[in-house]
Structure 1
Amino acid sequence: MRGFTALVSCVAAVTLWVVIADAKELSITTIKQDPYTMSKGSELEGYCIDLIYELSKKLGFNYKLHLVKDNRYGALDSSGNWNGMIGEVIREEADLAVAPLTLTAVREQYVDMTTPFMQTGIGFILRKDLAFQESTFSLLSPFSTDMWVGILIAFLLTGVCIFLVGRISPTEWAEPDADEHSFTLLHSFWYITGALTLQGAGPHPKALSGRLVSAIWWLFAVMLLACYFGNFNAMLHSNNKHVSIKSFEDLANQDLIDYGTVEAGSTMQFFKNSNNPVYRRISQHMERKKSYVSSMEEGVRRAQEGNFAFIGEAVSLDLAAARYCKLTRSQEVIAMRAYSIAAPLGSPLVKNLTVAILQLSESGELTYLRDKWWASSCMGVDGDHTSSALQPNDLRGLFLLLGLGLSVGLLLALLELVSRAHNQAKDGKKSCCSLLTAELSRRFGSGGESAEQDCSEKSKA
């Protein structure tokens, strides 16, 4: 039995070799579609071009490429004849059709198709601002995550700065051994929190350095609140605020956004022949509005213009979403399908092409080709400001002003302390540096804290 199987395999291989030897050159038809087949000067390049080359190396055939004349994939027309690449294969104008041809039951009746070289499904793309999703934390949406992190850091730095200025400045804390320190770390944060809510929280700084830091923080808080409420109001009154499209059911249940697919394609046939009530409503909408497009390029262009969702095969939509950052693809993918190579009925090439495709898949070559021709991140220059949330760059001037104010405030507090140490050094004929060190030790060392405790105990007594 094993010997008979080996003999059959040998005969099949010899038959294929004879066929390929007799056919000096295989005629292969394809269609232009990024990134499967694209023009590069007078030549063609793309995923399918590389796939044909790899298959020719494995099976040892020569080939000649040409683009399909009517720029169609293949469908039955009103007279019952096939057009597009399928029609060329049926009429033997081409030996193979290598393109993103969907494997369907109707096509399989008229041509032989190999095992799939790529798996996909049906999804849709639309602008990101039309795919708005309601969030529990919508109050945070006027600012981006990076912006909120920046505000938190600014809040912490300002609180620490107020605390340091209160300790360093002699005007705020004249006698560490006798006086209580008003601006503790807890009170410093409470003070700037009151400024954020446009409410006072005394006591207020008395020194010039403390007042400067407070004034800069007040200005920062007022400008920040103005930007927050302005952006929140704009998002609240946006024309698309009630649009939330995440699935085909969401698409079918709204009338604000139009949608369509490529006319006379397999995707259109799927919705037309489906028994699912949601998909039937989508098909009826496209028929009623005549929202079909002539090509995928037109569908992507209309999706970028807004108020249009383009329905197509997910693997092609992924490329569009990667190249045009304003677009996003739906998470829902339906009607899983596959791309195959078409050949005339009874062609001896199909079996060996199937084996070669499986070998390319097992060796990782198909994955390599996918990674080569599909971008993994946005390549468009228009993707930098897709979100309406304010970014740190939008208010970098305000953050720089706050940073400058904090630095100047700390510097002024240090100058006040240096001036006091210098005056004491003159009166006592001591070293200014030693007095400054001792003063800092009193204000930040354990001595200052014990003095505060003794003072509080005396006041209680």
Structure 2
Amino acid sequence: MAGRARRHPPSRLVVLLLLCLASLIPTPSLAQAQPPPASVTVGLIIDADSPVGRIASTTIPMALDDFYASFPNASARVRLAQHDSSGDVVAAASAALQLMTTQGARAILGPQSSVESAFVADLATVAEVPVVSFSATSPSVSPSGARFFTRAALSDAAQAGAIAALAAYFGWRRVVPVYQDDDYGATFVPFLVDALTNTSASARAEVPYRCALPGDASRDAVSAAMYRLESEQTRLFVVHARPALAELIFAAAVDAGMMSEGYAWVATDGITCLLSSIRPPQGIIGIAPHAPGTPRLRDVRRRWARRYMRDHPDAEAAEMGCYALWAYDAAWAVASAAERLGPRKSVIGDKLLAAIANTTFDGLAGRFELGGGELAVPAFRIVNTIDDGKERVLGFWTSKDGLHRKLGGAPNNSGLAPVIWPAESTVVPVGWVQPTSGRKLRVAVPGDVDPGYRPIMHLDVDPATNRSTAGGFVIEVFEAAVRLLPYALPFEYVLVGSMHYDSLVEKVGSGDYDAAVADITITANRSQYVDFTLPYMTSEIAMVVPMRDQRSKRAWVFLKPLRYDLWLVSFVFLIFTGFVVWAVEHGVNREFRGPPSNQIGTLLYFGFSTLVFAHREDLKSNLSRFVVVVWVFVVLILQSSYTASLTSMLTVPQLEPAIGDYTSLWLGTAKVGIMNNSFMPASMTKSGFPQSRLRSYQASQSFHDALLNGTIGAIVDETPYLRIFLKAYCDNFTEVAQINKTGGFGFAFPKGSPYVADLSRAILNLTESDGMSAIERKWFGDDDEGCAAQGSQFTSDSLSFASFWGLFLITGATSLLCCVVHLVTFLVSNRRSIWVVVSTPHEPWKDRFRMFLELFDKKDLSSHTFRTKDGGCGSVAGRSAHDAGAASPAVEHIAASSPFSVSNHTYDMSECSFDTQSPPPASAAGEMEMAAGGQAEEEEVAVAPDPEDISDQIGTGHQGSN
């Protein structure tokens, strides 16, 4: 053991000894490598006694502590130099000068109010010291006016769109802003008005008046202002004030009874962010920027609450609202920018401003990113205040997706959760009521109405009281719509006499009347002076012209009952049916035989005679009889339809408009009648119609007389008036050529009147129900009601093939089927003769076809029509070979010699003789003898001779002898 120890010295002890000696050697170079962090002075100007000031005094130091805890090796550390301005502009400016001159501040956080920020920003621009505000939200101060000013908060203008969306969502048409009359409040109102009025017409709201209160207003002054608002019509208020004034406003509203059912209050983010400090009444809707609920935010809020109570033990508990989040992110951004520039003395001016502007990170309030020197607009959350300053989230609003219960803009999440309004009401407030003064609405109605248009509107005078009572469709619709309003609307009619409707509209627009109820057409020009309700009656511009009878000018009227296609198809089927009958009958019926010209004439005569059921030919074949029966049925239907249509054309007056369309009216020279006190004269003149051809009338009787005596050739007016005119005078006139559409009839109100939206909604409800239809039937009758002379305008249209194609299909199929059956029968019966014709050697196909036709043209001697009880040609025994399909001598002769034509009228007589019996052909002698022997006891039946058969046999026998 001792020897082994001597061979291996203790190396571990040597290494330990060397390390101890090295630790004793001084190392000045390492100490110089990690110098202490540079100090960057940043000023903080707040109102220490205000809620926002107390929140900022806790939040900003905490944000800096958190930053350097996250970055312990930071090369530059922010040192806060806090000053209390006590809400005074001069004190804030003095503090800013002291910070920039004596304390060497590189940047300033604050000041707290917008007025202070405006002064400090001007001073900082001269000194080139960046000012980062976390609470100056007024649009009056912006980076565009002060280059070194940066807003690390949202501008008040950003929430105007959310308020306008709320007004549109709840259907509010009047909004009264209650605001603090300084730069903080006054500069916000124009943005609110623009947002309310720059929406669609259906969602537009107006600001009838405003309530501006000084920032230092007393409780009595605020109470007096609330009582003035309570006496007005509007019940929707938007409060935009600082916390101290907001508390006075809500307290005075409670005393004035304005936190009861029917009222609606909306608080801007300056109030909603401090609900725990202000504690407003229940039922208020608040708007505040949305901050994502991250774990980091929850941790900071928990630590912030403890630190706030430690810093301000005498203050009430507060929550970390949007001001605290903005202050935290602003301090973090300044510390981050100072760290990126390093401990150099150049951390001043433009470089620090650019570093702050380019700083981006995920802050507590969301993504911190300055665009144009201002914080980007995130989503707003919509809350509902409940007891003890708590809130209930109703939904969210973004400029892209609008109002939604959840973020993301999904269609199924549109809208808001149910709201609990003041007095725990769940009924959405209308937003305004009838003023407590009880003044009735002065509704202007025309005093001179033509009796011809009584259903539209009329005035009746009570003889006992000499008072005028308005009635008619227009009046009844207006009164029905008023009854559907959710509130009482007292009104009285004011007669205005005979006044042009354009003048009446202008008087309503100027405030002489509260409304005008009449058959006023909605036009673009009139809508410049007044607001119209939705149209309660649609209208178009059309014209009424006299009717003239066209019967005397139609010499070829007998062709009109059927269209050309039906005429053509009928003629084709007539020829086809005649051909089928001839094909079936000509072999067995003497009436269908003879020279070709005679057969063609018989075919055509037979076909045409069926049209009048005058065909005299006696049909022998059941096939042809079936064809004719079906065809006669079709002819019967065609004839009946033709007769009925022609009768109506000849007996019923065929009335046609004297002027067919508006173009014909324009190009013609006829005068045009128009109604007085309407927009038609201006409309016709504007369209370029010659004014010299316009004639104005007031009464419907005047229009009637002018049309009858030819003074005017047409009436151009709106369809409701023409409809009434035609109900009274429909004998000789008709409506044609709808020229243009109009806006319809509507009720006129002054611009911005809240009654427009409510009455429009009532008109829609009336239209969707049976109410509007009942009123129309009461005053205009049913649409199908009218004078009997309206039937005189009947016109009979020509019948087309489309109405009868089924009949032609039946007769065509029947004829084709019978023709096929006859052809098949013929082929089977004459198969041997046909085979001889087909197999004839050295004959062209044309000659073979001619042989086939000659065979088809021969009489069918086997038919009962050619049989007789006397002896003679064509006995049963003599025809047995032919019936069996054997080739007849005539066919053999045809095959052996040149074929003959039907046109030469030569026929084979080898089968028939008169005085002596010709011997039968050898090929059939045996068969004939067998037939005669087998039928010796039967009565012999012979074919009766006829002239055609005699001539056929003579010709054939003569050729055979040759």
Asked if 1:17 is matched to 2:433, the reply is yes
Q: Is the 8 A contact 1:324 1:383 kept in 2?
A: no
Partner of 2:456: 36
Asked if 1:253 is matched to 2:667, the reply is yes
Question: AA paired with 2:557?
Answer: L
Q: Is the 8 A contact 2:530 2:748 kept in 1?
A: yes
Among 755, 759, 764, the alignment partner of 1:353 is 759
**Offset at residue 317 of structure 1 (A):** 1.4
Cα 1:20–1:381 change in 2 (3 A) is farther
Asked if 1:302 is matched to 2:706, the reply is yes
CA distance in 2, matches of 1:63, 1:133: 58
**Offset at residue 87 of structure 1 (A):** 5.0
Alignment deviations for residues 61-110 of structure 1 (CA, whole Å, 9 cap, x no partner): 2333344301x4423xxxxxx3xx32553464532211221112222222
Residue 17 of structure 1 aligns to a residue in which SS? coil
Asked if 1:334 is matched to 2:753, the reply is no
Partner of 2:90: none
Unmatched runs of 5 consecutive residues or more in structure 2: 1-161, 176-233, 237-428, 463-468, 562-604, 618-642, 797-862, 869-942, 945-962
CA distance in 2, matches of 1:367, 1:333: 26
Question: AA paired with 2:674?
Answer: T
CA distance in 2, matches of 1:126, 1:244: 6
Partner of 1:27: 443
Partner of 1:89: 508
Question: AA paired with 1:38?
Answer: H
**Offset at residue 133 of structure 1 (A):** 11
Once superposed, what is the RMSD of the aligned Cα atoms?
Answer: 4.9
Partner of 2:416: none
Unmatched runs of 5 consecutive residues or more in structure 1: 76-81, 144-185, 195-199, 204-223, 275-279, 390-453
TM-score by length of 2: 0.27
Matches within 5 A, 1:279-298: 280=688, 283-284=689-690, 287-295=691-699, 298=702
CA distance in 1, matches of 2:724, 2:508: 28
CA distance in 2, matches of 1:140, 1:66: 64
Matches within 5 A, 1:214-293: 245-255=659-669, 257-263=670-676, 265-274=678-687, 280=688, 283-284=689-690, 287-293=691-697
Question: AA paired with 1:265?
Answer: S
Partner of 1:313: 718
Partner of 2:952: none
Matches within 5 A, 1:51-200: 51-59=477-485, 60-70=488-498, 72-75=499-502, 82=503, 85-90=504-509, 92-129=511-548, 139=557, 190=609, 193=612
Question: AA paired with 1:51?
Answer: V
Q: Is the 8 A contact 1:322 1:377 kept in 2?
A: no
Question: AA paired with 1:334?
Answer: N
Q: Is the 8 A contact 2:441 2:514 kept in 1?
A: no
**Offset at residue 332 of structure 1 (A):** 2.8
**Offset at residue 38 of structure 1 (A):** 2.9
CA distance in 1, matches of 2:543, 2:490: 38
Cα 1:202–1:29 change in 2 (3 A) is same
Identity of aligned residues (%): 18
CA distance in 2, matches of 1:91, 1:288: 34
CA distance in 1, matches of 2:559, 2:708: 23
**Offset at residue 263 of structure 1 (A):** 4.1
Cα 1:140–1:331 change in 2 (3 A) is farther
CA distance in 1, matches of 2:786, 2:555: 30
Cα 1:457–1:53 change in 2 (3 A) is farther
Alignment deviations for residues 212-264 of structure 1 (CA, whole Å, 9 cap, x no partner): xxxxxxxxxxxx9xx98x969x98xxxx99x7522210211223x43221245
Cα 1:44–1:457 change in 2 (3 A) is farther
Alignment deviations for residues 327-374 of structure 1 (CA, whole Å, 9 cap, x no partner): 211143314332211123343322322222233233353344334433
- Higher RCO, 1 vs 2 (CA within 8 Å, ≥6 residues apart): 1
Cα 1:388–1:52 change in 2 (3 A) is closer
CA distance in 2, matches of 1:369, 1:339: 15
Q: Is the 8 A contact 1:125 1:303 kept in 2?
A: no
CA distance in 1, matches of 2:743, 2:454: 19
Partner of 1:379: 786
Partner of 2:212: none
CA distance in 2, matches of 1:20, 1:202: 100
Q: Is the 8 A contact 1:99 1:341 kept in 2?
A: yes
Residue 35 of structure 1 aligns to a residue in which SS? coil
**Offset at residue 192 of structure 1 (A):** 9.8
Question: AA paired with 1:97?
Answer: A
CA distance in 1, matches of 2:704, 2:512: 31
Alignment deviations for residues 142-180 of structure 1 (CA, whole Å, 9 cap, x no partner): 99xxxxxxxxxxxxxxxxxxxxxxxxxxxxxxxxxxxxx
Q: Is the 8 A contact 1:128 1:328 kept in 2?
A: yes
Cα 1:191–1:41 change in 2 (3 A) is farther
Alignment deviations for residues 268-310 of structure 1 (CA, whole Å, 9 cap, x no partner): 2112122xxxxx2xx21xx224523235553355335556210
Question: AA paired with 2:716?
Answer: I
Q: Is the 8 A contact 1:259 1:311 kept in 2?
A: yes
**Offset at residue 125 of structure 1 (A):** 0.7
Cα 1:458–1:250 change in 2 (3 A) is farther
Cα 1:387–1:354 change in 2 (3 A) is closer
CA distance in 2, matches of 1:133, 1:121: 32
Q: Is the 8 A contact 2:444 2:496 kept in 1?
A: no
CA distance in 2, matches of 1:366, 1:15: 27
Q: Is the 8 A contact 1:260 1:309 kept in 2?
A: yes
Residue 125 of structure 1 aligns to a residue in which SS? strand
CA distance in 2, matches of 1:365, 1:138: 52
Partner of 1:440: none
